[in-house]
Structure 1
Amino acid sequence: MPVMPSSAPSVEKGPTLRNDSFSDRRDSVNKLETGCLSIIVLGASGDLAKKKTFPALFNLYRQGFLQSSGVHIFGYARTKISDDELRARIRGYLVHGKGGPPHTHSEDVSKFLQLIKYVSGSYDAEDRFRLLDKEISKHEISKNIQEGSSQRLFYLALPPLVYPTVCKMIRRFCMNKYNHGGWTRIVVEKPFGKDLESAEKLSTQLGDLFDESQLYRIDHYLGKELVQNLLVLRFANRFFLPLWNRDNIDNIQIVFREDFGTEGRGGYFDEYGIIRDIFQNHLLQVLCLVAMEKPVSLRPEHIRDEKVKVLQSVLPIKSEEVVLGQYEGYRDDPTVPDSSNTPTFATVVLRIDNERWEGVPFILKAGKALNSRKAEIRVQFKDVPGDIFRCKRQGRNEFVIRLQPSEAMYMKLTVKQPGLEMSTILSELDLSYGQRYQGVTIPEAYERLILDTIRGDQQHFVRRDELKAAWEIFTPLLHRIDDGELKPLPYKPGSRGPVEADVLLSKAGYRQTHGYVWISPSL
């Protein structure tokens, strides 16, 4: 029996879905079965499309989600190449991508590539967008589709500068021709502006062309397995409910670390910096899921309503609760100005002014060229009152959610050290995905989010008022950096970042554990 996604707006219907039972899973997977779906990748010859968009589409195809006869993929870009030339450029990223040795999927790769047709043209060329529409329509007609069963998904793997122009072309020449159940949806990549003013301008330009239900602002962090697990952890487990508040939690860290620098992207990165690139979107989205109240239901709008409430409760950032850094050698990149004030590292303390979180610092930290690569959430609990075992010096209880790599959740807790003596040691209760879910392939974030777009589920996409609230938090700080009022401190590549950042962590209440190191069982 066909099942329609309950979250889809009434004016749009997703493709017909069916349930398939797999022998190794107790749940079911919805797959596209009927209808005509055209996926159009704009910027098809660029790095983002080759490295992320097309591999994600291929993985969905391999899993059976895009194997209906009604599915076709179109590429559009300025590069003048043939269908076969585009396929050749993409092939290497599919053959050697995640999911198995090169020879395993060669037949699937060939079949998938045959779904792709290419149209070249500039992003303001009316005649080329008319041609694109003609090719899409030709495909739709060839499938003898019924009225209302045509769907068009436009993925903008493009610089935000050209979003308004491209969206005007789509609106004028490439919209779905059926008004009774068919749909047109637009996926746009970050960054969504550079500050509040530019983001609002872009939102207005796109909002004049499309309804909010048609716009999918993608933040790939919301597609990560452990990020998607946050709501389940918080609201489906009884023992977290009484603990998750200011009475028990001392501080929360949300950390993103990379052990490499800008590596050829210096010119692009220097235009944005670490706060625009990581804080305003990825880390803030994670903060919302950690801090939000329980939504009325799992409907996308109810979840996004609660996220907006969190953002609107964040107090203005204090300059004394910010540490910026720039790694030594960053300005050696010929594409980076010698006088660049762009931070490659930042630690920022956010404070949420509501009953649950008053007094609890949320410490956001991200940087490049550091001593490790990881992303994690670290919830540090308050000290145990009446410390009869004198174990306070060993460290506090912490609940750590390792987002990447080596996905895991573990609780640091004090236990008796094995032996005859009554001595204590810090250990952990550990759920490491590589060990617990052996043989289970964790989907890439882009796979999940593209599938959500096809289904019409906007839960993991950024709503316009959510975007505005996020920029309101960081725009004053960004302007102080842009005006040179705040300067990044130098730090050595391969270090933890500026030592002042650790001082700020200590002032905010974080107590570092010495002598304990979590080791992933999968290593």
Structure 2
Amino acid sequence: MVSRVIPVDSFDLVIFGGTGDLARRKILPGLFRRYASGQMPDEGRIIGAARSDMTCDEFRTMVKEAVEEFDPKSAKDTENLEKFLERVFYVAVDAMGDGGWKELGDLLRPDMIRAFYFSVAPSLFGTIAERLKTFDLADDDARIVVEKPFGKDLETARALNKSLAEHFHEGQIYRIDHYLGKETVQNLMAVRFGNMLFEPLWNSQYVDHIQITVAETVGVGGRGSYYDTSGAMRDMVQNHLMQLLCLIAMEPPAKFDPDAVRDEKLKVIRALDPVEPHHIVRGQYSASEKSASYREDVENPRSFTESFVAMRCEISNWRWAGTPFYMRTGKRLKARTSEIAVVFKDAPHSIFGAEAGVHRNVLSIRLQPNEGMTLGVTIKEPGPGGMRLVDVPLDMTFAEALGPDAEEVPDAYERLIMDVIRGNQTLFMRGDEVEAAWAWTDPIINGWTNRNDVPKPYDTGSAGPDDALMLMHRDGRRWREIKE
């Protein structure tokens, strides 16, 4: 199987915060992979912009070291790496002042696509947007990319959207959520809307429930100061899990068009029922022999911020009425995995009798690790001795099913950045989506505050608090095992 690499048009991409952690870990190595794959034109250029006073050569050295550290396999292509570095530049810019903006403008070329990646704190978004217009660096075709968090509640999200809208129209703003750039997330739309097999069954008549799990083995690490003011609800549920829920539940859009897709996602968010307090569980990881507790990690001995959330949601529309959606996410859990599981209902009548047991079809969509999909089907167990039923997987792990090309699946960030250059907003959140998600999330968070809710402790390396298990058991269901 030969992959098709379609080059993008020539561009100047400016990365504000170009010396920061995100740029070094994800953005710059991802851009190099796109260059090495032939997708980036020779005229494409990357311009780092930050406060640090360094030369272009010093910045190129930093970029080379970042690729070698965070993508050593790709860094072995030394010939392409040297050519890529020739397309890398740097300007010292004062985001809060006037320094460096004229120099940046002198470096930008006319008649090129201009994209500006705001890899900085959200408090700087409005200021940088204003400076780009004041110094006439961005025309009506320019694009800006902003990282989450998109506010910390509905009020701040509206203020952020308003601030950006004062300088750029909605078609220029790309709110990036790297989960939407994952290969399997996009394949979810292909499976749903490209196969007659699934779409007729994709509703409450045939689906018993849906589980969305994003589990991490790591703690908050060096993000303690940020995370303790956000928690799992703001950091994961309001954006990542909400987007996965929308893609799994939305109606078929009229066409694969940015606004058509995002219109249907917005309808899902607006159809979500409020979550009752007994349908949500918060947790906080405890200390173990090998790792610190959450409170020790964030250096706040009285913190009541959650590192785990599990909840039962319902969508009040014709397709999903009566079908529960269970979501959970947490840190310091037993394995790192992201999965969407569509659990279909039992057959209406079993001809094999009670001794055959209960067997259900489950479509498992794995986002990480080992991206792919598995459909569980029931067959007869081989051998004599009567009709014994057993569940077996129809497995489509990309690396196995699609051969060597599947191993070169682009990272989420590099895919999304190329979509910015193409001007394709399908996989980016629109402003009204963000606000609708906060409008649903805020009452949940405010309810915790008003009730003085305290997160339930859970052991490091577990599946989360016992109360999360009971959330499912009360409904006669069980969480799928968290495993690699």
TM-score of the superposed pair, with normalisation by structure 1: 0.87
* Match in the other structure for 1:361: 324
Q: 2:312 aligns with which of 349, 354, 360?
A: 349
Q: Establish whether residue 245 from structure 1 lines up as the match of residue 198 from structure 2.
A: no
Distance (Å, rounded) in 2 between the aligned partners of 1:40 and 1:50: 14
Deviation, 1:486, is: 2.1
* Match in the other structure for 1:24: 2
- Residues 413-452 of structure 1: pairs in structure 2 closer than 5 A: 413-421=377-385, 422-440=387-405, 441-452=408-419
Distance (Å, rounded) in 2 between the aligned partners of 1:488 and 1:395: 35
Are the equivalent residues in 1 in contact too, given 2:346–2:358 (CA < 8 A)? no
Distance (Å, rounded) in 1 between the aligned partners of 2:204 and 2:283: 30
* Match in the other structure for 1:64: 38
Where 2:469 maps in the other structure, the secondary structure is: helix
Distance (Å, rounded) in 1 between the aligned partners of 2:436 and 2:458: 32
Further displaced range: 316-325 or 501-510: 501-510
Q: 1:90 aligns with which of 63, 69, 72?
A: 63
* Match in the other structure for 2:248: 290
Where 2:230 maps in the other structure, the secondary structure is: helix
Q: 2:19 aligns with which of 26, 41, 45?
A: 45
Q: Establish whether residue 230 from structure 1 lines up as the match of residue 194 from structure 2.
A: no
Deviation, 1:67, is: 2.7
Deviation, 1:466, is: 0.8
* Match in the other structure for 1:478: 445
| Structure 2, gaps ≥5 residues long | 288-292
* Match in the other structure for 2:427: 460
Q: 1:378 aligns with which of 334, 341, 344?
A: 341
Give the letter aligned to residue 211 of structure 2.
Q
Structure 1 residues 425 and 216, CA gap change in structure 2 (3 angstroms): same
Are the equivalent residues in 2 in contact too, given 1:132–1:174 (CA < 8 A)? no
Distance (Å, rounded) in 2 between the aligned partners of 1:288 and 1:32: 29
Q: 2:49 aligns with which of 76, 86, 92?
A: 76
Distance (Å, rounded) in 1 between the aligned partners of 2:449 and 2:279: 18
* Match in the other structure for 1:220: 178
Distance (Å, rounded) in 1 between the aligned partners of 2:355 and 2:59: 62
* Match in the other structure for 1:15: none
Q: Deviations over 1:276-329 (max 9, x none)?
A: 111111111111111011111111111111111111100111111000000013
Distance (Å, rounded) in 2 between the aligned partners of 1:392 and 1:83: 69
Give the letter aligned to residue 126 of structure 2.
P
Distance (Å, rounded) in 2 between the aligned partners of 1:477 and 1:510: 24
Q: Establish whether residue 156 from structure 1 lines up as the match of residue 123 from structure 2.
A: no
Structure 1 residues 392 and 124, CA gap change in structure 2 (3 angstroms): farther
Give the letter aligned to residue 127 of structure 2.
T
Distance (Å, rounded) in 1 between the aligned partners of 2:40 and 2:429: 25
Q: Deviations over 1:89-137 (max 9, x none)?
A: 221231354483642x11211221221211113211123222211222x
Q: Deviations over 1:413-447 (max 9, x none)?
A: 22111100221112111111121122111110011
Structure 1 residues 244 and 265, CA gap change in structure 2 (3 angstroms): same
Further displaced range: 283-292 or 484-493: 484-493
Where 1:242 maps in the other structure, the secondary structure is: helix
Structure 1 residues 121 and 500, CA gap change in structure 2 (3 angstroms): same
Q: Establish whether residue 277 from structure 1 lines up as the match of residue 235 from structure 2.
A: yes
Structure 1 residues 282 and 509, CA gap change in structure 2 (3 angstroms): farther
Are the equivalent residues in 1 in contact too, given 2:35–2:84 (CA < 8 A)? yes
Where 2:6 maps in the other structure, the secondary structure is: strand
Q: Deviations over 1:134-187 (max 9, x none)?
A: 222xxx2xxxx6xxx32210001111111111111112114246x7xxx21100
Aligned residue pairs: how many?
475
Further displaced range: 165-174 or 294-303: 165-174
Structure 1 residues 99 and 305, CA gap change in structure 2 (3 angstroms): farther
Where 1:229 maps in the other structure, the secondary structure is: helix
Are the equivalent residues in 1 in contact too, given 2:356–2:389 (CA < 8 A)? no
* Match in the other structure for 1:208: 166
- Identical counterparts, % of pairs: 38
Distance (Å, rounded) in 2 between the aligned partners of 1:55 and 1:412: 37
Q: 1:126 aligns with which of 80, 87, 98?
A: 98
Q: Establish whether residue 171 from structure 1 lines up as the match of residue 133 from structure 2.
A: yes
| Structure 1, gaps ≥5 residues long | 1-22
Deviation, 1:232, is: 1.1
Structure 1 residues 130 and 265, CA gap change in structure 2 (3 angstroms): same
Where 1:239 maps in the other structure, the secondary structure is: coil
Q: Establish whether residue 315 from structure 1 lines up as the match of residue 273 from structure 2.
A: yes
- Name the Cα RMSD after superposition: 2.0
Distance (Å, rounded) in 1 between the aligned partners of 2:160 and 2:284: 30
Distance (Å, rounded) in 2 between the aligned partners of 1:32 and 1:101: 21
Distance (Å, rounded) in 1 between the aligned partners of 2:416 and 2:80: 22
Deviation, 1:480, is: 2.7
Are the equivalent residues in 2 in contact too, given 1:394–1:425 (CA < 8 A)? no
